[in-house]
Structure 1
Amino acid sequence: MKAAQLMKYDKNFDLKVNDIPVPAIKSDEVLVKVKVAAVNPLEMLIGTGSVKLIQDYDMPVTMGNELTGVIEKVGDKVTDFKNGDAIYTRLPIESIGAFAEYVAVKSDAIAPLPSNLDFVTGAAAPLTGLTAYQGLHEELNAQAGKALFIPGGSGSFGQMAVPIAKDLGLRVIVSGNAQARERTLAIGADQYLDYQAVNYWEVLKDVDYVIDTLSPDEFDHELSIIKPGGRLLSLRTGPNKQFAIDRNFSKLKQTMFAMASAKFDRKAGQKDVQYRFIFVRSSGEQLRKISKIIEANQIVPAVDPTKFEIEDINDALALVRSGHPQGKVVIQF
């Protein structure tokens, strides 16, 4: 089968399309014929070696973190799926490999494809959906009636985070470009700020939770609007000691992460705010819950219209690197 593989970590990495064997499955796994795989900024972090301390890979490694597909074989201990089932998944971080014609994956990491999504739009949902779900439920421990702000929340993450937050009973405020205003309000946002017309830190205050999708450059502005006792969750700034503790990393790694994030933890502590970082994990159980929200709200994630196949993987990566896709970039098999 064809698979797009990383041969070595490199700041200017490319992937090589190799012919490798179809994987064998274990008793708790299924073999999935991949229909569509999504290309994410996470690929850049993995390919450059930026997340080696969190997850290091033996080379070559087949890349790709989320996909849709059809089950072709089930392991002896798998009882809740059968051949022919359409599924979607965020693959376990230790065994990625969506950029391939087939993938073996544990059955507890997959879920049936939501009824209102096809293979293309479905591939754009699991990574952002799980990030939003785990961020809100686990990292923020978000409580109904409180206020959440998502700066830069008009993109693919916000499409999933807004309805999941509303399902929790939160008041949701989003900033983004003017073009996304109506569609973001339509999926449940209570307030929308055009970032070109207003500075959010000048109009917001006493927010309970912030989910940062932008960059470390926004850290001070985001802190300034959070009430004492609130929480700031970043998808971009980087892991801290708490992140390492939660994942039972070694004392050495805890120390390294503490040193790397000392500035951010200190600033947050001075404001009586808890700083959190998320590196999303796979969960079929959570995906099933997300599917109900997707179906109830008829959420259809935006997908960039450019057509890519596996031979075009480096062109797809280049589009993601550019920062200007018109939705999730996907490759189709």
Structure 2
Amino acid sequence: MKRVQYDRHGGPEKMYFGDYDLPPAGDGEVRVSVNAAAINPLDWKLRQGAMKLFTGRRFPKGMGTDFAGIVEAVGGGVVDFRVGDEVFGTMDFKRSGAFAEAVLVEAAHLAKKPPQLSFAEAASLPIAAMTAWVAIIDRAKARPGARIFINGCSGAVGALAIQLAVSRGAHVAGACGPASRESARAAGVSPLFHYSDSQAYTRQGTYDAVFDTLGTLDVGHGFAMLNPGGVFVDINPTPARLLRGVLSRRYKLAFATMGIKHLPAIAELAGNGTLRPAIGLEAPFTDALSVIADTEAGRRTSGKTVLTF
């Protein structure tokens, strides 16, 4: 079988199509034939070596984390999935490899694909939706009447965060670029600010939670935007941001790995239309190397970029 892999850490030039073999499904594992795989910044950060202390030095390594497909085999102890089930999920970043014809994944990292969603739509959900869930529901405690500010409300995580917050009855304000203002307003963001107008963020009051999806909002400024008891939620914890925030109980981290247990609930919300993933580009797996490189270089679309098989 073929997959996108690399033999050493580095830039896009390190990627290539390589052959690989999957072992039989072990206890608690599921083998899935991949129909679609979504591209996330995590994928190229892992290839660049950003987490090499955790991923180890064994090569070749596969690329890709989020996928959707059809169950081919199940290992011992797996009771929630059967051969032929349509599923979506995410791979442990230590053994990534979703840009491939088939994957072997822990059953706990899977959920059944809602029939209302295409494979591409389902593949675009896991990391973005899990991150948004942890930030908005677990950290910000979205609830009726809560005021939540989202910095970067038009990206994959931000867009799903809006949908989760609105579905919980929260009032959402946010900041985005000019190209995304119309879609953000349609999603329910009001007031809506331009990134460059950060001094205006509190013109209509302070917030119960500030969620910075981009890592561009100064932590101190974020704290100043909060009501007493409010929280600043961060998904881009650089050493400087951690140093500024770690001394305050108002600073909260949110990572996708914290939300794996919520995949079935995410599937339910996507199935009933509460969560609506947006696809910006679907490209064939044969174009994976160039599409990944373009996305990494900053090619923007109106939604997720997904490889289809």
Q: TM-score range by the shorter chain?
A: 0.7 to 0.9
Q: Following the alignment from structure 2 to structure 1, what is the Cα–Cα distance between the partners of residues 274 and 154?
A: 17
Once the two structures are overlaid, the 10-residue window that deviates more, 170-179 or 25-34, is 170-179
- Equivalent residue, structure 2, for 1:193: 192
**Aligned length in residues:** 307
Contact 2:8 2:60 (8 Å CA) reproduced: yes
Within 5 Å, which residues of 2 pair with 1:16-27?
16-27=16-27
Structure 2 residue identity aligned to 1:294: A
Identity of aligned residues (%): 27
- Equivalent residue, structure 2, for 1:251: none
- Equivalent residue, structure 2, for 1:320: 295
- Equivalent residue, structure 2, for 1:130: 130
Contact 2:134 2:258 (8 Å CA) reproduced: no
Structure 1 residue identity aligned to 2:184: T
Contact 1:131 1:280 (8 Å CA) reproduced: yes
Structure 1 residue identity aligned to 2:180: A
Is residue 271 of structure 2 the alignment partner of residue 295 of structure 1? yes
- TM-score where L is the length of structure 1: 0.82
- Equivalent residue, structure 2, for 1:167: 167
Q: Following the alignment from structure 2 to structure 1, what is the Cα–Cα distance between the partners of residues 274 and 141?
A: 26
Structure 1 residue identity aligned to 2:298: G
Contact 1:13 1:47 (8 Å CA) reproduced: no
For the residue of structure 1 that corresponds to 2:111, the secondary structure is strand
CA deviation after TM superposition for structure 1 residue 57, in Å: 5.7
- Equivalent residue, structure 2, for 1:83: 83
- Equivalent residue, structure 1, for 2:251: 275
CA deviation after TM superposition for structure 1 residue 132, in Å: 0.8
Name stretches of at least 5 consecutive residues in structure 1 with no aligned partner: 239-259
Structure 2 residue identity aligned to 1:219: V
Contact 1:23 1:103 (8 Å CA) reproduced: no
> Aligned in 2, Cα 1:154/1:192: closer, same or farther, shift over 3 Å?
farther
Contact 1:201 1:224 (8 Å CA) reproduced: no
Contact 2:123 2:306 (8 Å CA) reproduced: yes
- Equivalent residue, structure 2, for 1:253: none
- Equivalent residue, structure 2, for 1:243: none
Contact 1:234 1:278 (8 Å CA) reproduced: yes
For the residue of structure 2 that corresponds to 1:266, the secondary structure is helix
- Equivalent residue, structure 2, for 1:121: 121
> Aligned in 2, Cα 1:10/1:190: closer, same or farther, shift over 3 Å?
closer
For the residue of structure 1 that corresponds to 2:158, the secondary structure is helix
Contact 2:232 2:251 (8 Å CA) reproduced: yes
Q: Following the alignment from structure 2 to structure 1, what is the Cα–Cα distance between the partners of residues 123 and 101?
A: 15
1:221-257 Cα shifts (integer Å, max 9, x gaps): 433312343221222233xxxxxxxxxxxxxxxxxxx
For the residue of structure 2 that corresponds to 1:305, the secondary structure is strand
CA deviation after TM superposition for structure 1 residue 34, in Å: 0.4
Q: Following the alignment from structure 1 to structure 2, what is the Cα–Cα distance between the partners of residues 185 and 116?
A: 25
Structure 2 residue identity aligned to 1:315: S
CA deviation after TM superposition for structure 1 residue 75, in Å: 1.6
For the residue of structure 2 that corresponds to 1:83, the secondary structure is coil
Structure 2 residue identity aligned to 1:92: D
Per residue, is there more strand in 1 or in 2? 2
For the residue of structure 1 that corresponds to 2:127, the secondary structure is helix
Once the two structures are overlaid, the 10-residue window that deviates more, 191-200 or 104-113, is 191-200
Within 5 Å, which residues of 2 pair with 1:89-238?
89-142=89-142, 144-187=144-187, 189-195=188-194, 198-199=197-198, 200-201=200-201, 203-216=203-216, 218-238=218-238
